Structure 1
Amino acid sequence: MEVPKGFLFSGLNCGIKRYRKDLGIAYSTSDCVASGVFTTNVAKAAPILYNLKLLEENSTKIRAVVVNSKIANSCTGQQGLENAYRTAQKAAQVLHVDPSSILLASTGIIGLQLPMDKIEAGIEAASMCLNEDPTPFAEAITTTDTFIKMSSRKVEIDGKRVHILGIAKGSGMIHPNMATVLSFLFTDANISPDALKKALKASVEKSYNMIDVDGDTSTNDMVLALANGQAGNERIEEDSPEFLKFFESFHEINVELAKMIVKDGEGATKLIEVRVVHAPDELSARRIARSIVSSNLVKTAIHAQDPNWGRIVAAAGCSGVNFDLAKLDLYIGNGKNTITVLKCGDPCELNEEEASSVLSASEIVLTVDLNEGVDSATAWGCDLSEEYIKKNGRYKAWAKTL
C-alpha cells in the first residue's frame, strides 16, 4: 500500500463499540488543500454541516480528519452541532493545530448523541499512536462492512513520485448521488485547490455516484480529498498534462473503492456491472445505467439466477431517457461467457439452463447497446438477498452488538 509522504494514521476502540475500532484520525504533518463532495440528502448530519461551513472558510490549511463509527451524529439538533465543534476543538488541542484545520466524519445509527467523554478520551489516545500504517484508520471507520477498503497508486509527475491513497467505508444505504459512503483521498501531490476540486467532482460523478446497493441515500455521506504537496512536484493546475496524469490514477482509486463498496453490499452475493454503450450522449448512458443498477426487480432476479431480461429492459425504459427499442441489443455475461438475449429489439432464442449458469457467477455484466451514438457509461451494484432484509430489519439491535 503506497502511503503519501507526511500523512499519519491511527484507529482504536474508544468505547462506542464493544470491541471493534470506532475512532480514527488521519493527520498531515503540513497544511493540505482540501475539497469535499457531500450527500444530497436534505437531512444532513452535523459533521456534514460542520465541514461545509469550514471548507467555505478554509480549504487550504487542513491538517486532519477525525472519524467515528457506530453513531452518525445525525438528526441530533443543536447539541449535535455543538458536539461536532467540541470534537474538532479537542483534536486541535492534542494535535497542536488550529480548530479550523480539522474535518469531521461520523457514520452509524441516526438520532443518537455522541458520548463526548469517550470521543474526547479516544482522540487523545489516538493522537499518541499516529503512524504510517493506514489499516487501523480503515478499520475504525467501518460499520456493517465485512472488509476494509483501501486502494493506492503512485504516479511520476515532473520527475517526482506522487502517491495517492484512498480509504473508504460503505455497505448499505448506497444509491447514486452519494450514499452511506465515507471516502478519504490522501495525496502528497502539489496541486492547486481548483484542480483538486475539479478532479474530485469529476471522479465522484463516475464512481461513487454510479453505484447502488439498496436505493437509499444517507445523511452522512462524503468524499474528502487532502493534498499536502510534500511530493515536491511543480504545482498541478487544471487542464494541464500533469492534471490528466494525476486524475487518471486518482479516478482509478475511486472506481476501485466504489466497486469494493457494492461488492460488500449488505447480504450481497453478486457484483453487478451495467455497461451502456453507443448512447447518443454520456448523460443518457449514465441515467440508463443507474436506473438498471438501482432496480430491485433486476437485483432480485440476478440473486435468484433468473434470466428475466425483461426487467432490465423495463428499468432502462423508466430511466427518463428516450431510446429506440428497435435498435436495442442486450447481453448478459460473467466475464467468461456472454449470451445475447435481445438483438435490434427482438428477443433471441434463450437456453434457460445456459443463462442460469452464466448468472451463477459472482460477478455479472449487463451490456445495453443503444446503437444510437458513441458515448457510454458504467454503473455498479449488487444483488438483493434475504440476508439484506435480515440485517436491516434488525439494524439497531445488531449495531449494539458491535
Structure 2
Amino acid sequence: FQPLCQQQQKTLQTSNIDCRLGVWADTKLLNRILTNLLSNALKYTPAGGKISIRAKAEADKVKIIVSDTGIGISPKEQKKLFTSFFRASNAISSGTPGIGLGLLQAKRLATLLKGDIKVSSVVNQGSEFTLILNKATITNSAASVATPAMERPVTMEAPILCDSDKDTLLIVEDNDELRLYMRRIFEPIYCVIDKSNAQEALEYMETQYPSLVLSDIMMPGMQGDEMCNRIKSNPATSGIPVILLTAKTFRTSIIEGLHKGADDYIAKPFDIDILKAKIQTQIENRKRLRQYYTQIALRHDLPTSKTIEEMPTIQSSMPNSADSAFVEKATQIVKENISNFEFDIDQLCRDMAMCRTLFHERLKALTGHTPQDFIRIIRLEQAAALLQQGIPVTDVSIQTGFVNSKYFSTLFKKYFGVQPSRYTGQRMNTG
C-alpha cells in the first residue's frame, strides 16, 4: 500500500511489532481481512490524509488497528456496516466506487478465525477498525504460530473438491468481493466454480459442462452478454442455462440480454432468496429434460418429430435441438456397435469427436448417466427386446456385446429385477 499512498499523496504509518507476539490465524485469511481494511481506509481518505496500522496485546487478545483521517461514518450507519450491500451515505455521495460487501466479508473471515472486528468513527474526522484475534504462544520460531491442521480454517482460495452428486454452478464476476460472497452463499447447495472474467469461463467450458452459468454483464474485456451469446451459439454448450446479473436496469438493456440467449436477467442489488429460487428453477427444468433425453437412448428406434408431443411432463422446458442431436448421435453409435465386445468409452468419444472429459460432463448433465452406464443400459435394453423375441440368453449376451453370459445375467437381474431366462417384458425394477 505504500506506493499507492505515495501516488495519491497520502501517508501510511506503521508501528514496530514485537516478534514474540503471535496470534491463532490463517495467513491467507488474515491477509484478506487486512487488505480489505487498508483498502477502505485508502479509498475514503482524501489527499493529504493519514492511514496507520498498529498491533498491540491485551490479556489473551491481540488487536490489529487500522485507522484513517478520512470521511468517517455516522453513529447510526455504523450499526449497518457489516450487512450485505450497505454503504454509508457519505461514501455513496463521495462518488467512490463500491458495492458494500467488503466489510461483511472481513467480518465473516474474522469469525472463522474466532475473532471479531469493531469500528469507531467520527464523521469528517476519520475511522478506526480493530481486528481482535486470540493470542498464541511463540516457542522456537514464527513457524510455530501456525494453527494445528485440525483447527486451521479453510481459506476461501482453497481448491474445492466437489461432490459428484451436486449440480455445478459457474459464477463469472470480476468483483472479488461479490464473487466470493456468492461463492460462500451457494457452496452448501452446489459445486461452485468461480471465474473473474468471461474468457476464463469460456476456457473452462471447453472441457466442463456446468449445470448453470451465473454471470455479471459489466466486466473488463468480454462482457457477460457477449459471453452468453457465445455459449448459446456453440452447439456443445447451447443447452446450458445462463442467468445475467447487472446494475443496468433499463428496459432496453434487459431486452438486449434476453435476445443474446439469457435464460433470465436479474438486476443488482438482488434479493439472494429470489436469486436462489431462479437458479434452482432453471436447474430443475433441465433435470426434467433428462427424462426426454434418457428416453431417446432407451427407445428401440430413434425418436420422431412427435416425440416431444408424447411427453407432456416436460412441455414447460422444451428440449434443446443441439442437445437432442448429441444424445441421438451417441445412442446411434452405441447401437451400431452393440455386438462389438471391444467397444468402449474411448471409441465412443472418438466417434463423437469430443474429448473424454467434456463428453462425460455433457452426457451426465443431459441424461444423468456416466458414459459407462449409458453404454451398459442401452445394451441391456436391447437385450430385453431380443429376449422378448424368444432368442436364447447366451445368444442375446453375444449379440449385445457381453463376453461372459454369467456376467450379463448378473447385470440384467440388477437392472430389471429378474433373471434374463425368466424375463417376459414386464419390468420389476429399472434402477
TM-score, normalized by length of structure 2? 0.26
Greater length-normalized contact order (CA 8 Å, ≥ 6 residues apart): 1
Larger radius of gyration, structure 1 or 2? 2
TM-score, normalized by length of structure 1? 0.28
